[in-house]
């Protein structure tokens, strides 16, 4: 069998609480430090202990966009018997299962594949001998690296860093465990995949939540208030870890209602403020979202979408909150709704979110789906120049000097009223949740009500179509057009290459801005006669029918996935080919 060099798909499995996530993330770092591009995604139930957890890694020497298909792997490293039985079918011919031979015994007929290699390693025995069962993951790391012919030095450096505060003895024990695990697979001979070190480029290995945090910090966020809710919780963790470094105020609130009220209050004082949650938490924030709308207060909410309604599938992905974000709260008021599709988008869209929110003085909702939020992959450092802060209209101290007629909700030609910062001289005004006149005083006058609703609506015209244009990839004169949004962009972009290899000319239109919506741009992009298909992670085709609502155009073909799992490249290729052959 011809050996494959620097192209790997590997899965780690075990029950919650056994360290599968750490095992996967550590292996990803080792692959990255061999110079490879890495893509890491996880699958786990809503349990602290037990259940079945996996981490899937893909590594290549060249750039790629997605996992391709997380049900096709070369290696399985499993910490329990169930993992081997469950994932045996996913192994490619010549693949291998690495397992703890002291603890896991297979009965005759339990494993049916004759074309895979069983690599029994005494993981528990090695760990126990060298410091304790807690080090089993380190042994498994060494064994996996040994199977693939990797260099142990990157793992040793990771151990030095991770255990730097534990002392030399713990560091030495972990290195011994890794080396003995590495040596234990030597008797199994060459494996079909080999990882060879290549020059290491300057790359980060981060996930979508981290990317959004970096974008928010670059945009000047100063207050983060959040009640943790999967899959948004790591945003709170990231911000808390960097609170002092970037002079942030990070508040773990008692609930989501408090978090939203925190950022509305901060936004009113002129501070860029952020909260993050998932669909259930966003439901609780809706009343305060309306407060931000009527008081014309800029703030940003990240909704990391998971399967609903109610608790739903709290650890699985979905793109079903688009309609909710567009219409949340009673009454009518403008809001910004954006959705990044990859890591660069996570960074850059946060810059747009804060700028748009302050330019038109209204709340902004950023929709990140769970798959993007928690999937990590290697990427070049973000281009900091992509975010240029625009704070919108503020009065200076000179503007306010001697002023006696400040109107917080003053009628202006573009609908946006210049703001005074709380504490500025002569900026006294009323702020409340009631309808109001220009000064902020409560008003129930019919004419004033009409003027204020129209004023708030007109503000959105300050964001141009050009600023909202969808991202377009592929051929200008296509045989077929793919429409998508959110993390589906990653899978669609990789599917593009496979479709082009089949001789098709393909265009991808990825939407990231939904409110305001680029109506005229959309009409132009969808005006071609070629067949079109939209891919969405929901059961109702929410973007499909939103496009129809805004433009009158109905994309004739839709493929919807709503089982909590992301699309795969073969899936998108297959469904697109069906449309072309109609």
Can you give the three-state secondary structure of 284-326, one letter per residue?
Answer: HHHHHHHHHHHCCCCEEEEEEEEECCCCCEEEEECCCCHHHHH
Cα distance between residue 198 and residue 201, in whole Å:
9
Q: Does residue 50 fall inside a structural domain? A: yes
Cα distance between residue 419 and residue 243, in whole Å:
28
pLDDT score, position 29: 97
Average pLDDT, the chain: 96
What CATH number is given to the structural domain containing 285? 3.40.50.970
* Secondary structure E strands in 61-203: 73-78, 91-100, 117-121, 193-194
Output the six-digit token pair for 358.
């302050």
pLDDT score, position 366: 99
Whether the pLDDT of residue 531 is over 80: the answer is yes
Are 159 and 242 found together in one domain? no
pLDDT score, position 433: 97
Q: Is the omega angle on the peptide bond into residue 550 within 30 degrees of 0, that is, cis?
A: no
Sign (positive or negative) of CA dihedral 264, 270, 276, 278 = positive
CA 456 distance to own-chain centroid:
31
The backbone torsions φ and ψ at residue 560, rounded to the nearest 5 degrees and listed phi first, read -115, 135
Counted domains in the chain: 4
pLDDT tens-digit map of 353-398: 999 999 999 999 999 999 999 999 999 999 999 999 999 999 999 9
Residue 240: domain span: 206-386
Output the six-digit token pair for 302.
């990240």
Are 71 and 185 found together in one domain? yes
> Using only C-alpha atoms, what is the Rg of the chain?
26
Are 259 and 149 found together in one domain? no
Whether the pLDDT of residue 1 is over 70: the answer is no
Are 426 and 289 found together in one domain? no
Are 376 and 285 found together in one domain? yes
Whether the pLDDT of residue 330 is over 70: the answer is yes
pLDDT tens-digit map of 122-166: 999 999 999 899 999 999 999 999 999 999 999 999 999 999 999
Are 360 and 224 found together in one domain? yes
Residue 581's contacts (CB-CB under 8 Å, 6 or more residues apart) are none
What CATH number is given to the structural domain containing 508? 3.40.50.920
Long-range contact set of residues 403-409: C-beta below 8 Å, sequence gap at least 24: 406/439, 407/438, 407/439, 408/296, 408/438, 408/439, 408/440, 409/296, 409/436, 409/437, 409/438, 409/439, 409/440, 409/452, 409/455
Whether the pLDDT of residue 96 is over 90: the answer is yes
pTM for this structure?
A: 0.96
Are 94 and 223 found together in one domain? no
pLDDT score, position 424: 93
Q: Does residue 199 fall inside a structural domain? A: no
Q: Does residue 200 fall inside a structural domain? A: no
Are 19 and 131 found together in one domain? yes
Cα distance between residue 310 and residue 546, in whole Å:
23
Q: Are the C-beta atoms of residues 40 and 216 closer than 8 Å to each other?
A: no
pLDDT score, position 313: 95
Whether the pLDDT of residue 197 is over 70: the answer is yes
Q: Does residue 241 fall inside a structural domain? A: yes
In which element (H, E) is residue 178 found? helix 168-184
Q: Of the candidates 322, 357, 386, which is a domain's last residue?
A: 386
Q: Of the candidates 386, 416, 434, which is a domain's last residue?
A: 386
Are 189 and 222 found together in one domain? no
């Amino acid at each position: 069998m011809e050996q494959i060099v620097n192209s790997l798909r590997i899965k780690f499995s075990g029950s919650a609480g056994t360290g599968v996530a750490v095992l996967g993330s550590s292996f990803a770092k080792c692959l990255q430090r061999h110079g490879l591009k890495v893509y890491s995604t996880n699958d786990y139930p809503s349990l602290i202990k037990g259940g079945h957890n996996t981490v899937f890694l893909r590594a290549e020497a060249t750039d790629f966009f997605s996992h391709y298909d997380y049900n096709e792997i070369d290696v399985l490293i499993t910490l329990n018997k169930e993992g081997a039985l469950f994932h045996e079918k996913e192994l490619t011919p010549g693949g291998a299962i690495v397992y703890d031979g002291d603890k896991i015994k297979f009965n005759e007929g339990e494993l049916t594949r004759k074309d895979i290699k069983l690599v029994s390693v005494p993981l528990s025995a090695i760990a126990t001998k060298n410091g304790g069962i807690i080090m089993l993951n380190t042994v498994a790391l060494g064994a996996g690296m040994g199977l693939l012919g990797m260099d142990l030095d990157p793992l040793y450096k990771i151990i030095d860093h991770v255990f730097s505060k534990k002392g030399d003895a713990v560091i030495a024990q972990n290195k011994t465990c890794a080396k003995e695990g590495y040596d234990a697979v030597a008797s199994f001979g060459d494996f079909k995949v080999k990882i060879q070190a290549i020059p290491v480029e300057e790359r980060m290995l981060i996930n979508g939540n981290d990317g959004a945090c970096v974008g928010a910090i670059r945009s000047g966020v100063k207050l983060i208030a959040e009640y943790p809710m999967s899959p948004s919780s790591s945003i709170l963790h990231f911000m808390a870890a960097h609170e002092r470094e970037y002079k942030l105020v990070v508040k773990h609130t008692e609930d989501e209602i408090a978090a939203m009220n925190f950022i509305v209050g901060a936004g009113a004082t002129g501070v860029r403020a952020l909260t993050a949650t998932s669909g259930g938490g966003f439901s609780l924030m809706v009343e305060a979202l309306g407060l931000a709308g009527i008081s014309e207060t800029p703030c940003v909410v990240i909704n990391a979408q998971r399967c609903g309604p109610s608790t739903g599938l709290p650890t699985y992905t979905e793109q079903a909150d688009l309609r909710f974000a567009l219409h949340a709260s009673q009454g009518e008021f403008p809001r910004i709704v954006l959705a990044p599709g990859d890591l660069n988008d996570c960074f850059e869209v946060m810059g747009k979110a804060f700028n748009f929110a302050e330019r038109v003085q209204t709340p902004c909702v950023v929709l990140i789906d769970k798959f993007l939020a928690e999937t990590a992959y290697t990427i070049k450092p973000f281009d900091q120049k992509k975010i240029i802060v625009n704070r919108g209209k503020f009065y200076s101290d000179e503007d306010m000097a001697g002023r006696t007629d400040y109107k917080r909700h003053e009628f202006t030609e573009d609908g946006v009223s210049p703001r005074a910062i709380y504490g500025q001289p002569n900026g006294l005004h009323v702020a409340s949740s009631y309808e109001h006149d220009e000064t902020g005083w409560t008003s129930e006058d019919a004419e004033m009500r009409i003027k204020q609703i129209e004023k708030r609506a007109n503000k959105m015209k300050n964001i141009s179509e050009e600023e909202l244009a969808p991202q377009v990839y592929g051929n200008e004169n296509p045989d077929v057009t793919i429409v998508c949004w959110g993390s589906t962009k990653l899978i669609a972009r990789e599917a593009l290459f496979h479709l082009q290899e089949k001789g098709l000319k393909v265009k991808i239109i990825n939407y990231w801005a939904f409110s305001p919506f680029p109506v005229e741009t959309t009409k132009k992009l969808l005006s071609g006669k070629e067949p079109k298909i939209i891919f969405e992670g929901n059961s109702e085709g929410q973007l499909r029918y939103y496009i129809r609502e805004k433009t009158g155009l109905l994309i004739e073909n839709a493929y919807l996935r709503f089982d909590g799992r992301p699309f795969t490249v073969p899936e998108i290729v297959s469904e697109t080919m069906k449309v072309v052959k109609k």
